[in-house]
Amino acid sequence: MVSFYGTPVASRLMLGTAQYPSPKVLSEAFRRSGAGIATVSVRREAAAGEGADFWALVRKLGVRLLPNTAGCHSAREAVTTARMARELFSTDWIKLEVIGHADTLQPDPWGLVEAAAILCAEGFKVFPYTTEDLVLAERLLDAGCEVLMPWGAPIGTGLGLANRYGLRALRAQFPDVPLVVDAGLGRPSQAAEAMEMGYDAVLLNTAVAKADDPAAMAEGFARAVEAGRLGFEAGAMEPRDMAAPSTPLIGKAFLA
């Protein structure tokens, strides 16, 4: 079990709620994955008609909601959206996104820190979508964030863990901070690798929603997350250059 801002969550898998082919498929994906947290877009919820139906759907999922500020390109826009989310969803949890680059959807580090400081001061529990940059991570923690959500790769690419060195360094630098790999995961094996590094959870959307069978893929990711975490807790062996026999030489029969 993992805990964020003092709230325990049973599953280390978080799922987004966008791009599914139907509400039924979305519900089945969450059921089979056992995901503990669902991210929801404030922009979609605010839409008339469809938004009301969507809100009714996500409430039936029975999971913790994490509204996000997806699509925001400035601190001001993100802060306004977060305030709307608190009213709409009755939660002070917010996944903070401040996009700085249109092609890669990379976060704007200055806008992200600015928005995080404002929201933390207002009592929000901020989950910042960030990069693996150590200096930016430090600034976000100083701003009041108690969770960091570094990307694995740009959103929707499925590239997996593009900077393994950076992600390992982030985990080593902040051993007591809950870390969630957010974005870029395309296969269950990539999620397992993140968990083997010691990350506390993973968040994904496109890899499940756009799969031929979203519910089956969601279950696959759930199993991978569990396997990766068990591997980390058990103490997986580190790779080495030289071969080492697994069978001891003591007691081996020798021919005369």
pLDDT in tens, 80-89: 999 999 998 8
240 pLDDT tier (thresholds 50, 70, 90): confident
Does 36 have pLDDT greater than 70? yes
Contact residues for 45 (Cβ-Cβ < 8 A; gap 6+): 51, 54, 55, 67, 88, 89
Residue-range domain boundaries for the chain: 2-234
Integer Cα distance of 183 and 206 in angstroms: 9
Cβ neighbour number for residue 27 with a 10 Å cutoff:
16
CATH 3.20.20.70 assigned to domain 2-234? The reply is: yes
% of the chain beyond a pLDDT of 90: 77
Token pair in block for residue 255: 């021919």
Digit-coded pLDDT (tens) for 75-120:
999 999 999 999 988 899 999 999 999 888 899 999 999 999 999 9
The average pLDDT across 147-169 equals 96
**95 classed as catalytic:** yes
DSSP annotation of 65 reads: E
pLDDT of residue 60: 83
Could you say which of 24, 60, 95, 210 is catalytic?
95
pLDDT digits (tens, 9 = 90+) for 193-214: 999 999 999 999 999 999 999 9
- Model confidence at 7: pLDDT above 80: yes
Binding-site residue numbers for 1-deoxy-D-xylulose 5-phosphate are 156, 183-184, 205-206
Distance CA 235, CA 196 (A): 9
List binding-site positions. 156, 183-184, 205-206
